[in-house]
C-alpha cells in the first residue's frame, strides 16, 4: 500500500508539471497543403515557418509550440484542419493557407471561433472580405491582376490578349477577371476567354482557337504543373505569343516540367527572390539561413513561398510582443494595426481590409532560370 501511495504521488507530480508546462506554451497552428495538388507550395511555406520558429522559439519568455496540419489541398479538409487546431490543440493564432479556396474554407471556421489567422499567399479578395479575424501577408488579386496587365501592355506591348482560366479555382477565375478589367481599361482587346478544370491535360482546342484569333498574349493564372503543360502544348501548336501567369507559377519545378517551352515565360510574384537586387537586411538574413540549412539538398534555394511562410511566423511573434499578450483578441488588434513591419518580402502595412500593401514582382524564365527582373506598380 505504501508503494502504491508513493507511485500515485509521483504520478501526480508529473501530471501537474506537465499541465503547468502545457499551460505555459504559446500554441500557434499551421494548416497548409502538404499533399495533393498544392503540396509543393504548401511544403515550401511550412519549411519557411519552421525556419522562422528555429530563429524565434520563444516570445514573452514562453516557448512557442507549432501544430502543423495537412489540409490535403481540399476545401473540406481545410475547414476540418482549422477546427482541429482550435478545438483540440487550443491554438491562439493560425497561419495558412496556400491557395485561396483553402483559406476561404478554413477562414469561416476561424471567424466563428474568434481566432486570428494570417494567410501566406492566398490572394483572392474574398479571403479577408468582411472578416474580423483573417489577414494576409501577400498582395491581393486585383493588385496582382492589374500588375500583370500593366506589364503586358507597357513592357511587352501586348494589345490582343487571350485568357485560359481554371474554373475550379477561385484564384484563377478572380485573377483572370482583374487582368481583363485592367487590360481593357488601358486600351487592350480580349481575343477570347477559355476555360478548363483542374486536372485537365489537353488544352489544344482552347489554344488553337486563341491562335486563330491572332492573340499576341496568353494569360494563364494557373498552378505551375498545368501551366507548364499549357506552355508545351502552345509551342507545339506553333504559338509565338507571350505567355504570362500569376504567383502560383513561382515553383522550381516549373522549368523542369515546361522545358524549353518555358523560356521567356513571365509571371507576377511576391517581392522576394534570392537573386533580387537591392536586397533588404531581412531578406539577406533569411536567404543565408535558408542556404545554410538546405545546402546540398534539392531545396538549396529559397523562393517567395518559403519567404512568406517565414514572414507569417515572425509577424505573429511580433504581434504577440506588441500586444504583450497571447490573447487572441489582442493578437487580432496587433495584426490590424501593423504598419511598416519589416519582413523578408518587404515593408508591410495592413490596410482596412486586412490586406498587405506591398509591390508586385516580375520574374522571367531566362536560359532555364527564373530571374527576378522588375517590381511593378499597377495601373488600377
pLDDT tens digit sequence for 92-132 = 999 999 989 999 999 999 999 999 999 999 988 899 999 99
19: CB partners within 8 A, 6+ apart? none
Q: How far apart are alpha carbons 226 and 172 in whole angstroms?
A: 12
CATH topology of 26-139+280-344 equal to that of 142-269+361-376? Answer: yes
On whether the CB atoms of residues 211 and 237 are closer than 8 A, the answer is yes
Domain boundary assignment for the chain: 26-139+280-344, 142-269+361-376
Query: pLDDT per residue over 15-50, tens digit each?
Result: 444 444 455 999 999 999 999 989 988 999 999 999
On whether the CB atoms of residues 338 and 104 are closer than 8 A, the answer is no
Q: In what order do the strands lie in the sheet with 242-245?
A: 189-196, 160-166, 217-219, 242-245, 266-269, 360-366, 369-376
> Any idea which fold 142-269+361-376 has?
Rossmann fold (3.40.50)
pLDDT band for position 230 (50/70/90)?
Answer: very high
Residue 14 has pLDDT above 70, yes or no: no
Rounded to an integer, the average pLDDT of 136-143 is 90
Query: pLDDT per residue over 240-260, tens digit each?
Result: 999 999 988 988 788 989 999
Burial status of residue 45 (CB atoms within 10 A of its CB: 0-12, 13-18, 19 or more):
buried
Residue in the block written with cell 537573386? 275
Q: In what order do the strands lie in the sheet with 341-343?
A: 341-343, 346-350, 356-357
pTM listed for this prediction: 0.77
- Per the DSSP assignment, residues forming a β-bridge with 372 are 363
Its CATH architecture, for the domain 26-139+280-344, is 3-Layer(aba) Sandwich (3.40)
**177 phi, psi to nearest 5 deg:** -65, -40
Q: How far apart are alpha carbons 221 and 219 in whole angstroms?
A: 6
Cell numbers at 368, concatenated = 532555364
Q: How far apart are alpha carbons 149 and 170 in whole angstroms?
A: 19
Taking CB atoms within 8 Å and a gap of at least 24, the contacts of 185-188 are 185/379, 186/149, 186/150, 186/153, 186/154, 186/379, 187/153, 187/159, 188/149, 188/152, 188/153, 188/158, 188/159, 188/160, 188/161
pLDDT of residue 23: 55
pLDDT of residue 17: 45
pLDDT band for position 332 (50/70/90)?
Answer: very high
Amino acid at each position: 500500500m505504501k508503494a502504491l501511495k508513493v507511485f500515485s504521488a509521483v504520478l501526480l507530480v508529473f501530471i501537474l508539471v506537465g499541465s503547468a508546462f502545457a499551460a505555459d506554451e504559446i500554441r500557434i497552428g499551421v494548416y497548409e497543403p502538404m499533399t495533393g495538388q498544392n503540396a509543393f507550395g504548401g511544403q515550401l511555406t511550412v519549411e519557411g515557418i519552421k525556419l522562422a520558429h528555429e530563429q524565434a522559439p520563444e516570445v514573452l519568455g514562453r516557448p512557442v509550440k507549432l501544430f502543423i496540419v495537412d489540409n490535403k489541398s481540399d476545401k473540406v479538409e481545410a475547414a476540418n484542419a482549422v477546427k482541429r487546431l482550435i478545438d483540440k490543440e487550443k491554438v491562439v493564432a493560425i497561419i495558412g493557407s496556400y491557395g485561396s479556396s483553402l483559406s476561404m474554407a478554413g477562414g469561416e471556421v476561424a471567424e466563428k471561433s474568434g481566432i486570428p489567422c494570417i494567410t501566406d499567399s492566398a490572394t483572392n479578395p474574398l479571403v479577408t472580405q468582411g472578416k474580423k479575424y483573417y489577414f494576409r501577408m501577400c498582395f491581393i488579386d486585383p493588385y496582382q491582376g492589374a500588375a500583370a496587365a500593366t506589364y503586358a501592355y507597357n513592357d511587352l506591348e501586348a494589345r490582343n490578349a487571350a485568357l485560359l482560366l481554371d474554373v475550379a479555382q477561385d484564384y484563377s477565375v478572380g485573377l483572370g477577371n482583374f487582368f481583363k478589367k485592367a487590360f481593357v481599361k488601358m486600351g487592350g482587346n480580349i481575343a477570347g476567354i477559355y476555360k478548363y478544370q483542374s486536372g485537365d491535360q489537353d488544352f489544344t482546342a482552347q489554344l488553337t482557337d486563341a491562335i486563330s484569333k491572332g492573340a499576341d498574349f496568353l494569360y494563364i493564372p494557373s498552378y505551375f504543373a498545368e501551366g507548364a503543360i499549357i506552355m508545351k502544348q502552345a509551342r507545339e501548336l506553333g504559338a509565338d505569343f507571350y505567355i504570362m501567369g500569376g504567383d502560383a507559377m513561382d515553383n522550381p519545378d516549373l522549368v523542369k516540367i515546361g522545358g524549353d517551352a518555358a523560356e521567356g515565360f513571365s509571371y507576377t510574384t511576391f517581392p522576394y527572390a534570392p537573386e533580387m537586387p537591392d536586397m533588404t537586411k531581412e531578406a539577406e538574413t533569411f536567404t543565408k539561413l535558408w542556404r545554410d540549412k538546405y545546402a546540398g539538398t534539392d531545396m538549396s534555394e529559397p523562393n517567395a513561398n518559403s519567404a512568406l511562410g517565414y514572414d507569417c511566423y515572425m509577424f505573429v511573434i511580433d504581434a504577440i510582443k506588441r500586444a504583450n499578450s497571447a490573447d487572441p483578441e489582442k493578437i487580432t488588434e496587433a495584426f490590424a494595426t501593423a504598419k511598416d513591419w519589416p519582413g523578408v518580402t518587404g515593408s508591410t502595412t495592413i490596410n482596412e481590409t486586412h490586406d498587405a500593401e506591398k509591390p508586385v514582382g516580375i520574374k522571367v524564365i531566362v536560359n532555364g532560370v527564373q530571374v527576378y527582373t522588375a517590381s511593378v506598380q499597377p495601373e488600377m
